Amino acid sequence: MSKPALDKSSVDSLRFNGKPPHFAAWKSKLIIHLKALSEQRALEKLQHKHEKPLSRFEDLLESQPAMPPRPPAGDKEATWQNDLHETLLSTQSSYIKKLQCETLPSGFKGIATKIMDEPVHVIWRLVEKQYSLSNTAGVVGLVRQFNEMVNADFKSVGQLFQDLNSVRSQVNVNAHEALQTHMLSSQLMLVLVLGVLPRHMWGSSVEFTPDGFTLE
């Protein structure tokens, strides 16, 4: 089985800008990448009529996968399988750590320290602690920013919608990660914007129906 290569295109597409509001979306992209890699490795094993790997790449973000007890030295086949799984686990860990070093910003406190010698899930907890907004304080802060933008001066209605929609997406991504629900609907955003516009700017042109009351 080939060792997973960390190519430049993967690094570039997964590079994190260090902005907490964007962390949840970046985390989703990272997990999708790791899941795809897990499926690729499992397929390679099956094609060679070998057992599937005991652990998946994304599992290492949650905990250190447990290895089965080492078989007796005399059982060469079982010992070989155990060594293979152990090597695969080490390869998975090394790949994710290298990916973190290449894609996390230099401002991450764990880079270039002994923390990178810790298991992947320990490092990942530090990453989440530093950047994640998927908690009460983080989401409240984003919603406050959303409300301030609604009531602030704006250059154009189009730009206001664009800016609000960006923050709304950040709120929903972070809220969904923690609560499994979207917090700000597009209809609510539309109502709030109409509330700060003079009535003559929209009046009868707004159709208050499921199909008509949209951002399009």
Mind listing the pLDDT tens digit for each residue in 167-194? 898 889 888 887 888 888 988 898 988 8
- H or E element, residue 121: helix 120-131
In this structure, the answer to whether residues 47 and 123 fall within a common structural domain is yes
Quick one: pLDDT at residue 109? 67
What is the 8-class DSSP label of residue 134?
Answer: -
- H or E element, residue 172: helix 157-179
- Which segments of the chain have a pLDDT < 70? 1-3, 5, 109-113, 216
Task: Please check whether residue 211 lies inside any domain of the structure.
Answer: no
In this structure, the answer to whether residues 113 and 44 fall within a common structural domain is yes
Count of structural domains within the chain:
2
Quick one: pLDDT at residue 3? 64
Asked if 52 and 32 touch (Cβ cutoff 8 Å), the reply is no
In this structure, the answer to whether residues 105 and 201 fall within a common structural domain is no
Q: Which domain holds residue 197?
A: 136-205
Last residue of a domain, one of 131, 161, 192: 131
In this structure, the answer to whether residues 36 and 108 fall within a common structural domain is yes
**Each residue's pLDDT tens digit, 135-171:** 888 888 889 989 999 888 888 888 888 889 988 988 8
